[in-house]
Structure 1
Amino acid sequence: MQPARRVLASTGAASAVRSPGASTCRACLTRLPAPQRRAFSRSAPRHAAPPAPSPAGLAELSSRKLISVSGPDAAKYLQGVITANLFPGYAGPSPTSEHLRADAGFYAAFLTAQGRILHDVFVYRDARDTAHPPGHSWLVEVDAAEADRLQKHIRRYKLRAKFDVRLLDEGEGAVWQAWDDASPSLPPSLPSSISNTTVITTPDTRAPNLGHRLVTFSPTPSPPVSSPTLPLVPESSYHLRRYTHGIPEGQSELLFNQALPHESNADAMRAIDFRKGCYVGQELTIRTEHRGVVRKRILPCVLYPDGQPLPEDLVEAYRPEIEPGVTAEEIPREASIGRAPGGKKGRSAGKWLTGVGNVGLALCRLEIMTDVVLPGEASSGAGGFGEGDEFVVGLGEGEEGKKVRIKAFVPEWLRRGLVRGEGH
């Protein structure tokens, strides 16, 4: 039985829109909460590392939660505070439901007024609401550890806009990721226990062949019965898939009030519409797009022990742990990456973010850790990348002086985007 689906429709080129979200007082929008650095995020992978990457799977994402934003001004408010465009192709002063984008869901981000990432989100049309006009009911999917903070942020800056904000109760809705490398472009074939419920399905367009995002609503049996073609897998398998594709997610990886959109690949992951009108954080984001040189990017990395040759393939190099028993989870978040002993001297090459097994993500200096040539610069030089260069990252407390080797990879979809100066 096929599930009820919202089909992703192509959208036209976006153009300038001024929204009532932009009517929020600029002075108010700049008075954002002070940054609160957290040593660890509850969204970080806490499950056992999978034995190998799964070519197909259906994973329930307990690391994500849903917030309902519903009311006559919901779409207009969201238009003024997220990086994506709800009204692509419309340049008039008063967009209506007829101008809304047609897809069921899309990726976006909330920024500070200084252009830093507050939250990365998926935004969906709420398929349950059939009593109100299109655009009145939306669901915002966010890092579960940050859901309450985002709900309060929306309430704080809604001012007189007419909409309600509510964090969905536990069990009321669930977020899933489905993928099948044998048919990556097709909607997933779901177990009957899921397909019999209300389901929102949309392609995950952050990277090619990453899979499909799903939202299901109660009643859903737990756990659902898997299908022969799409087995149920643990959430750690989804995290591993993200890491091998080079996709950061949640505020353990996109550091709250610190991460820049371009350094976090939000531009290449289609989170930002650069032809959209005013939204919070737009000025610095647009300036970086047109004038800045992005020297750091979040990249997938593999950890490997001393004495082994440089890994050539990220997926083939994956292991649940590194001998003797080191895993990516043992490396402190934001641990500095440097050159291996005996190599060139120079500044820090990057910062570790998170991982599972021996694969994870790090914020890397492109000219030091990769062969990417930045615009207007030579391919190498003193302290620049050289064939065979090796790097190390330190382990946690109690392991002072102990380091593990690390190599960064540039995914092909991101490399193409860097060459063209655009997303995939």
Structure 2
Amino acid sequence: MPNTTLSNRAVIRLSGEGVRDFLQGLVTNDVALLAPARPVWAGLLSAQGKALFDFILWADGEDVLIDCEAARADELAKRLTLYRLRRPIVIGRGDALAVHWSAEGEAGSPDPRLAALGRRWIAPADGEAADYDERRIALGVAEGTAELGVDKTLWLEANAVELNGVSFSKGCYVGQENTARMHHRDKLRRRLLPVKIVGAPGDEAELRTGEGKAAGELRSQVGDVGMAWLRMEHADGVLTVGSAEAEVIWPQWLQDQTAASA
């Protein structure tokens, strides 16, 4: 069996009375949707609706497990502890557990953001999974601080609507007002999108049009694909980043949903 552990992910366990109600008032998605084998992608935002953390929630009996970026797991646990106040909720690292991924097979559950990304589950660690980030970026699924930043990218700019990361019916959460306003006014002018890169950008990150206009920022790169934060008016055509060229790989899921809403 191939190795499946995502070593750049970690697990936080929340247990105690009222765990789901606690999270319901904080995160972008509807925690009531959580069920065995049905994880939920969500974010914890600033009051302005910008991403502070993104993660996948899992039901584990009465507990909730958070599948999150390993480098910021302790920071996320600390932030949740601040919000907890006097609630009888225990927040701790699930160090005996790891996040697993496979591009195919029947283990685990389909990724809640995009089924084409593959399947994931939580279990004790094995060896490092290969090709996850390259596949994820090529499919246009952004995650983590490198791509979303911290208080830098609006949650809807991470394609949260199209990738099942936000509920507009569940009620209040941190950053809800601005997120809902943007959605209902259709004011999304920038998105995180995958790009095909030809050449070597070097240390450059700024994307420009052929006329030299600022178009956005290259946030990450694996092989010849990258994740870019782009102004939508400049997302068509060839862009430059340093001495390299970049062109948007329009994800099929985004094309389908854009056509459906037209």
Give the TM interval when normalised to the shorter protein. over 0.9
Q: In the alignment, which residue of structure 1 is the partner of 2:240?
A: 392
Quote the RMSD (CA, aligned, Å): 2.1
The match for 2:22 is 77
Q: Which position in structure 2 is the counterpart of 1:362?
A: 228
Query: What is the correspondence of 1:173-188 to structure 2 with a 5 Å cutoff?
Result: 173-180=97-104, 187-188=106-107
Q: Which consecutive residues of structure 2, in runs of 5 or more, have no partner in the other structure?
A: none
- How far apart, in 1, do the equivalents of 2:37 and 2:26 lie? 19
Per the alignment, in what secondary structure is the counterpart of residue 262 of structure 1?
helix
Q: Does 1:87 align with 2:11?
A: no
Name the TM-score, length of structure 1 as normaliser: 0.58
Query: Residue type of the partner of 2:65?
Result: L
* Distance (Å, rounded) in 2 between the aligned partners of 1:294 and 1:285: 10
User: Secondary structure, in 3 states, of the residue corresponding to 2:158?
Assistant: coil
* Contact persistence 2:20–2:32 (CA under 8 A): no
Match of 2:175 in 1: 281
Structure 1 residue 242 displacement after superposition: 0.4
Q: Which has more strand, going by share of residues?
A: 2
Is the aligned partner of 1:254 residue 2:148? yes
Partner of 1:40: none
Cα drift, residue 355 of structure 1: 1.0
Give every structure 1 segment of 4 or more consecutive aligned residues whose post-TM-superposition deviation is greater than 6 Å: none
Match of 1:338 among 208, 215, 221: 208
Cα shift at 1:213 = 1.1
Any gaps of 5 or more consecutive residues in structure 1?
Answer: 1-56, 89-99, 127-133, 181-185, 189-200, 224-231, 306-325, 371-388, 395-402
Once the 2 structures are TM-superposed, how far is the Cα of residue 143 of structure 1 from its aligned partner?
0.8
CA deviation string 1:326-380 (max 9, x = no partner): 3x7x445xx211123xxx35x311110001111111011222122xxxxxxxxxx
Superposed displacement of residue 85, structure 1: 0.7
Report if the CA contact (8 A) 2:6-2:129 is conserved: no
Q: TM-score, normalised by structure 2?
A: 0.92
Residues 223-252 of structure 1, C-alpha deviations (whole Å, 9 max, x = no match): 4xxxxxxxx742xx1000001101111111
Report what 2:193 is aligned to.
299
- Aligned partner (choices 166, 179, 192) of residue 272 of structure 1: 166
Q: Structure 1 residue aligned with 2:113, among 206, 213, 229?
A: 206
Which secondary structure does the structure 2 equivalent of 1:354 belong to?
Answer: strand
Query: Partners in 1 of 2:261 and 2:53 — Cα distance?
Result: 24
**Greater helix percent: which structure?**
2
- Residue 393 of structure 1 deviates from its aligned partner by 0.5
Contact 1:60 1:176 in 2 (8 A): yes
* Residue pair 1:208, 1:413 contacting (<8 A) in 2 also: no
Matching of residues 374-389 of structure 1 within 5 Å: 389=237
Alignment of 1:84-233 (within 5 A): 84-87=29-32, 101=35, 103-126=37-60, 134=61, 136-169=62-95, 172-180=96-104, 187-188=106-107, 201-217=108-124, 222-223=126-127, 233=129
- How far apart in 1 are the matches of 2:115 and 2:192? 17
Structure number with larger C-alpha Rg: 1
Identity of aligned residues (%): 31
Per-residue displacement from partner, 1:166-192 (whole Å, max 9, x unpaired)? Answer: 0123xx111111122xxxxx623xxxx
What displacement does 1:103 show?
4.5
CA distance in 1, matches of 2:234, 2:31: 38
Which amino acid in 1 is paired with 2:22?
Answer: Y
1:310-321 aligned at under 5 Å gives the runs none
Post-superposition offset of 1:102: 5.5
AA at the equivalent of 1:80: G
